[in-house]
Amino acid sequence: MGEEAKRYAVVTGANKGIGFGICKKLASTGGVVVVLTARDEKRGLEAIERLKKEFGLSDDSLLFHQLDVTDPPSVASLAAFVKTRFGKLDILVNNAGVPGGVVNGENVLRRLSTSPRIVNVSSAMGVLKHIPNEWARGLFEDIDNLTNQKLGDVLREFLKDYKKGSLESKNWPIVVSGYTMSKAALNAYTRMLAKKFPNFRVNCVCPGFVKTDLNENTGFMSIDEGAESPVRLALLPDDSPSGQFYSVDEIIPF
């Protein structure tokens, strides 16, 4: 296969868990070159070696680059690497769990590819019915007028009330509150990106209750099972839906 026919993918937070499984599946797909990223270089390189040794993946389909999505210089370094090495980026799977990291990924994709896919690995905990605060829910729902600034305003207000111990009195989620709010913001950001860039395929997906370190392996799905839905969305054809929220394989309301 010629270089021009290959697709290039970046998976964030991929040294273990669902991100690791996504890299395995994508790199096993013919014609896809995957950049596995992780904050810790040692762990990332160990993940690469494991994928190559245990699953027979080659240097041509899988490589590593350090990435901390909360660190702008780290993001810039990855962007420069992708541009120099490949000249384009076709797929971004945002699995690292920090919604702010997608902003720079969006800019990279806009510069380097004409019809890319962004897949945000999210959670059904982030659907708006779990957000009792009417002001926050209203901003998240108003996609036509939603901005990065407004998303930040909601999260800053939530964090202020969290520090004050005022979550319940201010109608914020009180069960896994930070997780719920971050996922709700990520879901809203997904819709905002899909509207802003109609040539992109931008979707988010709850992969199911997967056994990972995050839940102390209490899930009932394997890593391979959890990776199936994100990979399917990453490989969607150009005429596929965008701005949707999938729970495994089913589109559900935000």
Catalytic residue among 8, 162, 179, 189: 179
**Tens-place pLDDT, residues 54-108:** 888 888 899 999 999 889 999 999 999 999 999 999 999 998 754 333 334 455 4
**Tens-place pLDDT, residues 104-130:** 445 544 545 656 899 999 888 778 998
Note the pTM of the prediction, 2 decimals. 0.88
3-class DSSP string for 90-150: CEEEECCCCCCHHHHHHHHHHHHCCCCEEEEECCHHHCHHHCCCHHHHHHHHCHHHCCHHH
CA atoms within 13 A on the CB side of 83: 13
Q: Which DSSP category does 126 fall into?
A: G
Does 179 participate in catalysis according to the annotation? Answer: yes
d(CA 240, CA 200): 10
**Tens-place pLDDT, residues 5-20:** 799 999 999 999 999 9
Lowest mean pLDDT among 5-14, 145-154, 185-194, 209-218: 209-218
Homologous superfamily of 3-124+184-251: NAD(P)-binding Rossmann-like Domain (3.40.50.720)
Q: State whether residue 158 is helix, strand or coil.
A: helix
Phi, psi of 33 (to 5 degrees): -105, 125
d(CA 179, CA 173): 10
Q: Name which of 26, 42, 44 is nearest 34 in CA terms.
A: 26
